[in-house]
Amino acid sequence: MLFVWAETVIIREKEEEKRSNINELERAIRLHNQLEARDAQLRAEAQACQARASAQEAAATSLQAQLQQAVGMRGGVWAQDSIVEEEGLLCAVGNRGLEDAESAYVDPERMRQPRCKGCRTREATVVMLPCRHLSICPECDRTALACPLCLTLRNSSVEAILCQMGPIKSPLVCQF
């Protein structure tokens, strides 16, 4: 009888050990599946980041090429600068000669209101974007596809409120 009892105890211990091993194996399988899912997620994120980086690199290369092309074109535009400056139009990019406060001073007595480069009759009050030229009137803005000064395709435009310069010590006086 003692032998049967010992045999039963050993069988129970083996069954408990077997259940424990099965539970541990199931836990390891669940952990393995979780790690595989996390690995797949991280690989997808890495691939998306790689694609984003590649797209941004291509955009940067394109912008660099456009910038170099614009700088290269700039050599043929120097003669036009004097015309543009005479008409009171300033480009946001590549303004030469405006390095200090004296050279940036605008004499209100000599200043003329810029004329629209589209119709050449009305006052230019619309700033073209992205080139930032103040070049056309609101009426011509409705149909303009590009800046008439630099022929840059426009993204949008903003109507500017032009102010008359007061004496140096007083602020700008806007006429509405």
**Confidence class for position 164, pLDDT limits 50, 70, 90:** low
- The CATH architecture that domain 89-176 belongs to is 2-Layer Sandwich (3.30)
Q: Supply the pLDDT for residue 41.
A: 96
**pLDDT tens, 115-160?**
899 898 998 889 888 888 888 999 999 999 998 888 888 888 888 8
**pLDDT tens, 50-105?**
999 888 888 888 888 777 776 666 544 433 444 444 444 444 444 444 445 555 55
DSSP letter for each residue of the chain: -HHHHHHHHHHHHHHHHHHHHHHHHHHHHHHHHHHHHHHHHHHHHHHHHHHHHHHHHHHHHHHHHHHHHHHHHHGGGHHHHHHHHHTT---SS---S--SHHHH---TTT--PPBPTTTSSSBP-EEEETT--EEE-HHHHTT-SB-TTT-PBPSEEEE---EE---TTSPPEE--
**Confidence class for position 33, pLDDT limits 50, 70, 90:** very high
Q: Supply the pLDDT for residue 134.
A: 87
Give the pLDDT mean for 14-30: 96
- Domain-wise residue ranges, the chain: 2-75, 89-176
Answer yes or no: are the C-beta atoms of 132 and 147 closer than 8 Å.
Answer: no
